[in-house]
């Protein structure tokens, strides 16, 4: 076997292995960053959906009917309102469901429930 000079650099195999290790690390970091970005986006959507539901519930509590679509933080949300009489009380149950327009009914982002006095209709 021949002896290498002390100033000799990496062999081609060593350089390829080092680049492969760096590439694996970069791909792992990119995947983690994409996942984090998706979670932040979903959290922003749920927060805006909650604010939309609170707004629609406040409107319904005051006797006003919220719009079918409300824009919050630059996103459009579909708003559904269910009003039901509460048995044995002079109250109405208000249930507001918020989803993204075009999504299936199962894709409700936020559901809020409140009550109001049942007034003459």
- Tens of pLDDT, residues 59-96: 998 888 888 899 998 899 999 999 999 888 889 999 99
DSSP 71-117: EETTEEEEEEEEEEEPTTSSEEEEEEEEE-TTS-TT-EEEEEEEEEE
> pTM for the full model?
0.70
- Pick one of 1.10.287.40, 3.20.20.140, 3.40.50.1000, 3.30.1300.30 as the CATH number of 12-117: 3.30.1300.30
Q: How does pLDDT run across 28-46, given as a tens digit for each residue?
A: 999 999 999 999 988 998 9
Domain locations in the chain?
12-117
């Amino acid at each position: 076997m021949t002896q290498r000079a002390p100033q000799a650099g990496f062999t081609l195999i060593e350089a390829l292995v080092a680049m492969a290790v760096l590439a694996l690390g970069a791909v792992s970091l990119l995947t983690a960053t994409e996942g984090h970005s998706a979670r932040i986006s979903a959290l922003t959507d749920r927060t805006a959906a909650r604010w939309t539901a609170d707004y629609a519930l406040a409107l319904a509590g005051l006797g006003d009917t919220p719009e079918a679509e409300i824009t919050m933080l630059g996103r459009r949300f579909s708003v559904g309102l269910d009003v039901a009489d509460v048995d044995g009380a002079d109250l109405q149950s208000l249930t507001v469901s918020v989803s993204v327009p075009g999504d299936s009914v199962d894709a409700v982002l936020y559901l809020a429930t409140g009550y109001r006095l049942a007034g003459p209709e």
